[in-house]
Structure 1
Amino acid sequence: MAQLHLGQTIRFYGDPLVDGPEAARHDSRGGVLVQDRRIAAIGTADDLRAAHPGAGIVDHGARLISAGFVDAHAHYPQTGIIASWGKRLIDWLNTYTFPEEMRFDDPAYAAEVAGRYLDLLLANGTTTVCSYCTIHPASVDAFFAAAEARGMRVAAGKTCMDRNAPEGLRDTAQTAHDQSKALLERWHGRGRAEYVITPRFSPTSTPEQLEALGALWAENSGCLMQTHLSEQLDEIAWVRSLFPQARDYLDTYEAYGLLGERGLYGHAIHLEPRERDRLAEVGASLIHCPTSNTFIGSGLFDMGLATSGARVGLATDTGGGSSFSMLRTMAAAYEIGQLRGIPLHPAQLWWLATEGSARAMRMADRVGGLEVGREADFIVIDLASTPAIAQRAARAHDLWEALFPTIMMGDDRAVAATYVAGKAMKTPGA
Structure 2
Amino acid sequence: MRALRGRLLWFVDDPETAGEAAHRYVEDGLLVLSGGMIQATGEAAELLPTLPAGTEIVDHRPHLIMPGFIDAHLHMPQTQVIASYGAQLMEWLNKYTFVEEQKLAQQGHPEKLTRFLLDELLASGTTTAAVYCSVHPQSAEAFFAESERRNTRMIAGKVMMDRNAPAALTDTAETGYADSKALIERWHGRGRQLYAITPRFAVTSTPEQMRLSGQLAAEHPDCYVQTHINENQAEIAFARELYPDSDDYTGIYQDFGLLGAKSLMGHCIHNTKHEWRAFAEAGAVAVFCPTSNLFLGSGLFDWARAKRECVRVAVATDIGGGTSYSMLRTMAEAYKILQLQGQSLSAFGSLHAITRGNAVALGLDHLIGTLEPGTEADVVVLDPAATRVMAHRLETARDLAEELFVLVTLGDERNVVATYVAGERAGA
Report if TM-score (shorter chain) is over 0.5.
Answer: yes
Give the Å deviation of 1:306.
5.0
- Within the alignment, does 1:15 sit opposite 2:20 as a pair? no
Give the Å deviation of 1:52.
2.2
Q: Counterpart in 1 of 2:35? A: 36
3-state SS of paired residue (1:168): helix
- Within the alignment, does 1:315 sit opposite 2:331 as a pair? no
Letter in 2 for 1:37: G
Give the Å deviation of 1:133.
0.5
Percent identical pairs in the alignment equals: 47
Q: Counterpart in 2 of 1:422? A: 423
Give the Å deviation of 1:51.
2.6
Give the Å deviation of 1:149.
1.4
After superposing on structure 2, the runs of 4+ consecutive aligned residues of structure 1 that deviate more than 4 Å are none
Deviations 1:3-28 (A, max 9, x none): 11111111112112332343112111
Deviations 1:240-260 (A, max 9, x none): 111111111000100011011
CA contact (8 A) 2:12 2:356 kept: no
C-alpha RMSD of the superposition: 1.2
Q: Counterpart in 1 of 2:410? A: 409
Deviations 1:309-352 (A, max 9, x none): 42111100000001111111010111111111111000110011
Q: Counterpart in 1 of 2:104? A: 104
Distance 1:176 1:305 in 2: 35
Distance 1:122 1:205 in 2: 33
Distance 1:352 1:359 in 2: 9
Letter in 1 for 2:286: L
Q: Counterpart in 1 of 2:401? A: 400
Distance 1:162 1:340 in 2: 38
CA contact (8 A) 1:26 1:399 kept: no
Distance 2:354 2:150 in 1: 21
CA contact (8 A) 2:329 2:412 kept: yes
Q: Counterpart in 2 of 1:187? A: 187
Deviations 1:142-201 (A, max 9, x none): 111111111111010010111100111111111111110011111111111101100000
| Distance change (3 Å), C-alpha of 1:213 and 1:283 | same
Distance 1:21 1:168 in 2: 53
Distance 1:364 1:163 in 2: 37
Distance 1:140 1:412 in 2: 26
Distance 1:381 1:403 in 2: 11
Give the Å deviation of 1:91.
0.6
- Within the alignment, does 1:362 sit opposite 2:363 as a pair? yes
CA contact (8 A) 1:153 1:193 kept: yes
Deviations 1:116-146 (A, max 9, x none): 1100111111111110011100100111111
Q: How does 1:233-248 map to 2 (within 5 A)?
A: 233-248=233-248
Letter in 2 for 1:236: I
CA contact (8 A) 1:71 1:316 kept: yes
Letter in 2 for 1:66: M
Letter in 2 for 1:104: L
Q: How does 1:18-417 map to 2 (within 5 A)?
A: 18-52=17-51, 54=53, 55-308=55-308, 309-417=310-418
Give the Å deviation of 1:94.
0.4
3-state SS of paired residue (1:80): coil
Distance 2:427 2:399 in 1: 27
3-state SS of paired residue (2:167): coil
Distance 1:86 1:170 in 2: 26
Letter in 2 for 1:155: I
Give the Å deviation of 1:392.
1.1
Distance 1:424 1:191 in 2: 18
| Distance change (3 Å), C-alpha of 1:273 and 1:306 | closer
3-state SS of paired residue (1:281): helix
3-state SS of paired residue (2:349): helix
Deviations 1:50-88 (A, max 9, x none): 332533211111100000000000001100111111311
CA contact (8 A) 2:37 2:374 kept: yes
CA contact (8 A) 2:332 2:408 kept: yes
Q: Runs of 5+ in structure 2 lacking a partner?
A: none
CA contact (8 A) 1:107 1:139 kept: no
Distance 1:268 1:290 in 2: 11
3-state SS of paired residue (2:385): coil
Distance 1:273 1:406 in 2: 35
CA contact (8 A) 2:276 2:311 kept: no
Comparing 208-217 with 359-368, greater Cα deviation is found at 359-368
Letter in 2 for 1:393: L
3-state SS of paired residue (1:250): helix
TM-score, with normalisation over the residues of structure 2?
A: 0.97
Distance 1:390 1:416 in 2: 15
CA contact (8 A) 1:367 1:374 kept: yes
3-state SS of paired residue (1:316): coil
